[in-house]
Copies of this chain bind each other. A is one copy, B any other.
C-alpha cells in the first residue's frame, strides 16, 4: 500500500536511461491488468529518441517534463490489431464505433496505471501528460497511429531528481457515496474544500493569478470553457477520423 499511498508526481528526472529489461518488466506488469474479454485492445508506444520527443513536445504544451524524461509511454486504445486478427481469421470485425473506442480506452488506462505502480515500485517516478487527448490528431501523426487507434494518455518515466511534497486530496467522504449519490449542498462543498482553500499554496495561486477565489483560477486560467469547447470539438473530429464514430 505504501507505493500507492506515497505516490507523488515527478517532473524532474536524473539523466539516466532505463534499462531495456526494466522498461519491459514494468510494461509486462501493466499488461497483467484486467482487459475486456481478454482482447487486450491497447498498444504502448515507447518514445526514447530525443528528436521525436522534440517533435511531440509542442503537443504536450512544451511541458519540460515531456522533453526531460528519459522515456515517454503513450497508451493507445487499439482496435486495429484485434480487427486485423479477425480479418485474417475469416471473421468480420464490428469495432468502428464509440463503445469500442471507450472499451479500448478503459483497457489502455488500466494498463497505464499498473505501469505507473510497477515503475514506482522499482524506484522510478512518473508524470501523466493530460495533453494527449487535447492534441491526439498531431500525436497520431507523429507516432504513425493507424485507423481504429487513439492515444488516451502519455506517461513520462525516469529516475526522480526531486522529492516533492505530496499534494492535498479531498477528505474521503467528499468522494464516496453510500448506495446513492448524495448531491453536494453549499454546506458540504464548504466542508470538503475548506482544507484545500486554506492552504498557503492555494492563497499564493489566487494572488499570482489575480483572482478572487481558487475556483476562478481553474475556470478562468487553467481549465477554461473556451479551451474545453475547442478541444472537445477537436477530439470528436479525431475520433471520426480514426474510424470510431462512423
Which residues of A come within 8 Å of B, CB atoms?
1, 4-7, 9, 24-25, 27-34, 36-40, 42-49, 52, 76, 78, 80-82, 84-86, 88-95, 97-100, 102-103, 105-106, 109-110, 112-114, 116-118, 121-122, 126-128, 130, 133-134, 143-146, 149, 152-153, 167-170, 172, 174-181, 183-184, 186, 189-190, 192-193, 212-216, 218-220, 222-226, 228-229, 231-232, 235-236
Contact = CB atoms under 8 A, between A and B. Distances in A.
A105 B105 contact: yes
B109 A106 contact: yes
A166 to B, nearest CB: 8
Interface centre among A90, A99, A114 (most CB of B within 10 A): A99
21 contacts: A1-B121, A4-B114, A27-B175, A34-B116, A36-B128, A38-B167, A45-B179, A45-B181, A81-B174, A85-B193, A86-B219, A90-B216, A92-B225, A94-B229, A95-B223, A99-B134, A99-B232, A100-B228, A109-B110, A146-B183, A149-B181
B102 A37 contact: no
